[in-house]
Amino acid sequence: DADVTQTPRNRITKTGKRIMLECSQTKGHDRMYWYRQDPGLGLRLIYYSFDVKDINKGEISDGYSVSRQAQAKFSLSLESAIPNQTALYFCATSDTGTGEDTQYFGPGTRLTVL
Partner 1 sequence: AQKVTQAQTEISVVEKEDVTLDCVYETRDTTYYLFWYKQPPSGELVFLIRRNSFDEQNEISGRYSWNFQKSTSSFNFTITASQVVDSAVYFCALYPYNQGGKLIFGQGTELSVKP
Residue 100 DSSP class = -
Should residue 90 be labelled a site residue for partner 1 when binding is judged by CB under 8 A?
yes
- CB of 2 within 8 A of CB of 106? yes
Q: Taking the C-alpha atoms of 38, 10, 108 and 88 in order, what is their torsion angle to the nearest 10 degrees?
A: 10
Of 15-23, 65-73, 76-84, 96-104: span binding partner 1 (CB under 8 A): 96-104
Should residue 97 be labelled a site residue for partner 1 when binding is judged by CB under 8 A?
no
What is the distance between the alpha carbons of residues 84 and 15, in angstroms, rounded to a whole number? 10
Which residues, numbered 23-82, are part of the site for partner 1 (CB under 8 A)?
31, 33, 40-45, 48, 50, 56, 58-59
- Binding residues (CB under 8 A) for partner 1: these are 31, 33, 40-45, 48, 50, 56, 58-59, 88, 90, 92, 94, 100-108, 110
